[in-house]
Structure 1
Amino acid sequence: MAFRFTHLLAGVFLASAANAQMPPPTVGVIELKTQAVPRTIVEPGRAIASAQVEIRPRVEGTVTEIGYQAGRPVETGDVLFRIDPSTYEADLRAAEADLAAARASVQEAEAALQRSEQLLGTGTSQAQVDTARSTLEQARATLQSATVTRDLARTDLDRTTVTSPITGVAGFANVSVGDLVAANQADALATVTQLDPIDVEIWAPSARILSLIDDVSSDRVEIAESITATLTLETGRTFDADGQMVATGQNVSETTGSRATRFRFENPRHVLLPGMFVRSEVMLGSARAILVPQSATERAPTGELTAWVVVDGAAEQRSLNEIGTHEHGWIVTDGVAAGELLAVDGLANLTTGIEVQTVPVMLDEDGVVRDLEDADAPGDTEAE
C-alpha cells in the first residue's frame, strides 16, 4: 500500500509540473489601421410613383370608345377615351355662326361710322356720328364675346377626346362604352402611372440623422457630392440600378420618429412597382475609421459591442463604438486605436489579463481567417 501511495503522489506532482509549464494559448491577430471607409446606412423603403394622374372627364356625355389596353405603356397625348361629340359639334357650329354674324355687324358699323364722319356738317349732326361710333363699339364687344364663346365650344369639343397627360402605364378602366360620365366627376375613368423612372422613399430615424450631423461637424464623416442608394428586393435580389437622391423631407413623422428621403431609380423593365417594400443601402460618403471584422466581436444583451486586443502579450477586452458596417466589418470610431493587435482567431478561452502568444494572420475577401503562409502560397485557396 505504501508503495502504491508513493507512486500516486509522484504522478500528481509530475502533472502539476506539466501544467505549470504549459505554453500560453495562441491567438491569431491583425494590426488595426485607420482607413477611409464608405459611410452607409441601411434603412427600409417603399417605392412610389414619380408621377401618377387620375383621368377624369371635363365634359358630360356618353363614353363611345376606350382607346387603350390596361397595363400597356401610353405616351403623352395618346387617346384613352372618347365621349360622344355630337352635342359639342352642334354647339361649335352655332358659336361659329354667331361669330360670323358678329363680324358682319362690325363691318356694317364701321361703314356707317365712316359715312357719318364724311357727311358731318352736310346733313349729319355730331350726335349721329357719336351714335354710329357707339354702335361700332357695341358690335366689336359682341364680336369679342362671340369669339370667346366659339373658343369655349371648340375646347369642349376637344375635351370629348380624353388623352394621357403623361407617359406611363394606364390602369384598368373604371367605365365601359355606353356609360354616362359627368364633367369633373369624383370617380376617375382610369389612372396613369409613371414607372420609369420610379421613386423610392427611404425613412431614417431622426436620432441617426442627428448622429450623422455630429459626425460631419466633427470631420469624422465627409459627405459625398452625389448621394446614391442601392436596393435589395423582397426576394433578396439586388436591384440592378443605383438611385440618385432627389429631395429630403422637412418633417419628422409623429408616429415613427423618422425623416423621409426620396431617391429616383431607372426602372425600364418595371421591376419596381408603387407600394413595393425594399431594403436600401444609402452611400453617404466616407469616414476615417478603423474596420473591425464582425467575426472578431461579440454583442452583449445590452447591445454593447466588444472585441479582444493584445497589449504587451496579454488579452484585453474593449468596448467599441461603431457607426455602421462595411463588407464584413464594423466601422469603429472609438474603443481601439491604429497599430493595436486585434485578436481574430482563438478567442474561445480568452479572459482579461491572460498571457497569449500572437500569430499574424489575415482575412480573405469573405472575412475568413487565413494564415499568412497560405495567403502567400501561389494557387492555394484553402485554409489548413
Structure 2
Amino acid sequence: MKIKVLYLSLWLFLAFPIEGYPQKVSLSLTAAIDSALQNNLGLQSAFQKVEAAKAMVPMGFNLDKTQVFYRHDQNDIAENGFSNKVFGINQGLQFPTVYGKQRRVLEDMTLVEQQQYLLTQNQVIKEVSQTYYTILYLQKLEYNYRFLDSLYQQFSNAADRRYDVGETNYLEKLTARSKMRELAVRLAQTTESKNQALVRLEQLIQVGSVFEVPDQPLDLLLISEWSEDSHPGIGFYKQSVQWKTDNVTLEKQRLLPDIYGEFFRGTNTGPNARVYPGIQVGVAIPLWFGAQKAKINSSKYELMQTSLAAENYTFQLDNRRRQLEIELQKYQEAISFYTEEGKQLSRQLITQGNQAFKGGEIDFFQYVLLIENSRNIEVDYLINLQGYNMTVLEINYLINP
C-alpha cells in the first residue's frame, strides 16, 4: 500500500512539475518603466512629499486663536451701584495682505516639491532604461563568450590529443589551455554582471514577481530633444527662485501693523441692571525692526544664492550635454566602422576560415584564431554600442551636470 502511495505521489510530481514554482514574466522596457513608476518606494516617498506640501497650502490663512475672556473689575460701577461682570471675545490678525502672500509662498513650496518629484521620476526612468539595456548587452556578450568558450574547449581537447600522440608540442597545449581558461573567466564574469544587473532592475521596478528580459535586437537609441522650459531640473530652479522672491515680499509685509478687535458685554445682578455692550479695535505697530530686518536680509541672500545656483545649473547642464555629445562621436566612429566594414569582415573571416579548414589549408589552431578574430569584431561592436546607448540615455535624461 505504501509503495502504491509513493508511486502515485511520484507520478503526480512528474506530471505537474511546475506546480508551486513561480513563473517568470517576460518584461519589456515599457512594462519595466511603468512598474517602477507605480511601485518604486523611493518615488512614492517623493510623491508623498508633494501631497504633504499641498496639504500645507490652507495654512496660509492662519488666524491666531480667538480669545474668550471674563473680567470683573470693582472699579467698573454701573448706574445701580453694582460692579459689572464683563464677558467678551477678542481676535488679532496680521495685515490682510500677509495671508495672501503666505498662501502664495506655500503654493510655491508645493510647486518646488512637484519639480523635485519630476526630477526623481526622471532619474528612475533613466536608471531603469540603462539597466534594461545593460542586461540586453550582457546577454549578447554572454552569447559570444559562450560560443568562444565552447570553441576553445574543443581546441584544448584537440591539443591534448595531438600532444599525447606527439603531433604537437607542449607550448601549443599550454596555449590552448590558457585561452580556454581565459574565455571561461570572461564568460563567468559576464554572467555575474548580468545577474547583478537583473538584481538592480528588480530593485528599481519592485514588481514583486520573477521576471526575465527577453532576447531582442539591440539597436542604436535616438537622442530626444528637450528645451529649458520642459526640463525638470531647470523648472525646479526657476520655481525655487520664484519661491524665494515671494518669501522676500512676505517678510517685508510682516512689518505692516497687525489688527485686533474686541467685543464685550458687561452687566451685574443688582436691581435695575442693564447690559453695557462695548467694542475695541486697534493696531499693533512694530517699534523694534531689527529682528524682522534681519529676516528680510537673510531672505534676500537666500534669493541671491538660489538665483546664482539656477544660472550655474543651466550653464553646467548645457556644458555637460556638449561633453556627452562629443563622447557620443567616439562611439559613433567605432559603430560606423562595424556597419561599413566590420560586419562584412567578420562574416568573411568565418566563411573563408571554414573553407580553408575543410580544404586542409589551415590547421585547427589557425582556424580557431580566425573565428576568435571574427567574434572579437562582434564583441567590440557590442561594447561600443553599449557605450553609445548609455550616453544617449544620459543625454535624454540628463539631470546632474
TM-score bracket for this pair, using the shorter chain length = under 0.3
Bigger RCO of structures 1 and 2 (CA < 8 A, at least 6 apart): 1
TM-score, reference length from structure 1: 0.22
**Of Structure 1 and Structure 2, which has the larger fraction of its residues in helix?**
2
TM-score, reference length from structure 2: 0.22
**Of Structure 1 and Structure 2, which has the larger fraction of its residues in strand?**
1
